[in-house]
Amino acid sequence: MDMKPIPSQTVGPFFHFITDAASIGCLVTDSTKGERIRLFCRVLDGHGAPVDDAMIEIWQANAQGRYNHPDDLQSKELDPGFVGFGRLATDSRGICGFETIKPGRVPGNDGALQAPHINVSVFARGVLKRLATRVYFADDPANQQDPVLALVTAGRRPTLLAQLRGEHNHWHFDIHLCGEQETVFFDI
């Protein structure tokens, strides 16, 4: 008997129909507290080509380091002018951009403070389950003590670091779905 591999069942060519639903690219208002930033995410396939119909969701703490979620019971102040969640489809260049703030430090499971980071979920054709990763900010001194970042081998940590480009707090984060430069994804 000759066994031939068959393709796995994936999200099909219809995926792009859902990427425009419920877009949220601006997480801030005029009253939001904290350092304003723009986060540009670029999704690339294993050959470095842009993925033009992916969807990126971000979830983050406010500038004080508190999530707008009932499970976050910290005494830190909630910011009524900050949403904390965004969702955008990538464009023809594989890019989407969020208006947000640099998040504050949040405690980890052991109580140790984590470096400022943004949680990212990636949805795309060919991806059965969302891919979960994090965006850390390059050159942030708190990265050295982050317990989650410490779990990643030193050679792979750069795949989790957004780079500051330009003069206006524009951070750029490349998400490589596979290949030699594959972004670190977490099994959560």
> String of b and e for 106-115 (b: at least 16 CB within 10 Å)?
beeeeeeebb
pLDDT of residue 1: 55
Distance CA 121, CA 55 (A): 8
What are 98-140's pLDDT values in tens digits?
A: 999 999 999 998 889 999 999 999 999 888 899 999 999 999 9
Distance CA 55, CA 150 (A): 28
- CATH number attached to the domain at 32-176: 2.60.130.10
pLDDT-derived band at 149 (thresholds 50, 70, 90) equals very high
3-state class (DSSP) for residue 120: strand
* pTM of the predicted protein model: 0.88
Give the mean pLDDT of 13-22.
51
